[in-house]
Structures are given as structure tokens and as C-alpha cells.
Chain A
Amino acid sequence: QQPVQSPQAVILREGEDAVINCSSSKALYSVHWYRQKHGEAPVFLMILLKGGEQKGHDKISASFNEKKQQSSLYLTASQLSYSGTYFCGTGGYSGGSNYKLTFGKGTLLTVNP
């Protein structure tokens, strides 16, 4: 089941903050966040596994709610380099295995000077 991302797009000025949400109707095994710059491959940012977990590096952080049905990505004091499309990928079990991720449709983030 594909997770729902919101918003679809957001435009910021440098230094502003943004929140991107990823939600599912079912509890998730894991949530992965990726960033893809135009014309390039997605790059892994972080993974959340536990309900209530929060983690991050630099000015990009993420949380996973207690029910493990929603994750949010926080971009603080945005920089021009943060521009790109952000995807969440949700992990689950398929036939006893945990090999697949189902990605949301992405959130296009544009940071302007």
C-alpha cells in the first residue's frame, strides 16, 4: 500500500523551515527518507524503526509517531542545497520477507534565495 505524502510541493526562501509528512493507514515496519535532486538518483537520508523515534543530522530530522503510521521530515533553516524531491519509503513484510520498500509520490521542495 503506497504511503501518502503531503504536501505535494512546497516553495521556501532560504532560512525558512518545512515539514513533509508521510502517512499510512496501517502500522509500518519502517520508514525511510530519500532526497532526489533533479536528474540524479535518490540518496538515502535516514531510517526510522521505532514508534516515537526521532532522529536527524545537521538541520534535517525526522520523527515516527507512536502508532507507527505517520512520519514527518523536518528541514530547519533551509539551504539552497535542500532543493529536490523528497520521498518516503515504507517497509513491510511480504510473504515473510522484508525486502521491499513502497515509495510515496514525493514532495518537491524548492528553496529560493
Chain B
Amino acid sequence: SQTIHQWPATLVQPVGSPLSLECTVEGTSNPNLYWYRQAAGRGLQLLFYSVGIGQISSEVPQNLSASRPQDRQFILSSKKLLLSDSGFYLCAWSSHRGYNEQYFGPGTRLTVT
């Protein structure tokens, strides 16, 4: 069966510091991968998605970037965090063979102080 991991689970970072969040998927190959952000009590905002290694599509222009160095690894980064970057970051995967049913990781709760 497939599993998706995210780390860290929680993170408190000062404004202006860098960020690196990691997501890995097990039990499947060549998944579609997604990064979402959810502000407190709000909906799901798609940040980036990737259909293959090195292929990244950005949905919202901002100070975040994403990379996919390996087939089942997806990384979200920032060089300098803003207060508005606080939120719940969710990684998700879907299969190329399905209808894009997405399965979410446990999430990283980021607080920028």
C-alpha cells in the first residue's frame, strides 16, 4: 500500500529565515505530487504540483519554491520566510492512472514569528 510522509510535523521559524519541508511517497512510482497551504480555518490553496522529476508548476506567485529531485520526493523551500507564510502545509499525491484522487500526508504546521 502507499504511504506519504511529511516532516517536520511542526516548525516555528523567525521571519527572514529559510525553510525546507520534505515530502516522500512510498509504494507507488511516478506519482503526481502537490503542495497545498491551508491558513487557519480556511480552505486548501494549491501552491505547486509536479507530474514528474524536475517538472514543477507554480500556481501562486510568492516567495516559495518547490523541487522534485527524485521520483517520490517533493521539497518546498523558501529563502526568507514572511509572517504570511504561517499555515498548515500539506503534501498530496495522485496516480497518473486514476482520476486524480489525491491522498494527503499528515501535514506540517508552520508558525512564522
Chain A residues proximal to chain B, CB less than 8 Å:
30, 32, 40-44, 47, 49, 87, 89, 91, 97-106
Contacts and interface: CB of A to CB of B under 8 A. Distances in A.
Interface residues of B, number: 19
A105 B104 contact: no
A41 B42 CA distance: 13
Q: Give the 10 A-B CB pairs with smallest separation, nearest first.
A: A41-B104, A103-B44, A105-B43, A41-B107, A42-B104, A99-B32, A106-B43, A44-B101, A91-B100, A30-B99
Contacts of A99: 32, 49, 51, 94, 100
A44 B46 CA distance: 16
Interface in B93-113: 94, 99-107
A92 to B, nearest CB: 10
B8 to A, nearest CB: 15
Contacts, number: 51
Interface of B: 32, 42-44, 46, 49, 51, 59, 90, 94, 99-107
Nearest to B46: A100
Nearest to B106: A41
A32 B43 contact: no
Given A41-B90, A42-B90, A103 B43 contact: yes
Q: Which of B32, B51, B94, B100 has the most CB of A within 10 A?
A: B100
Contacts of B105: 41
A44 B100 contact: no
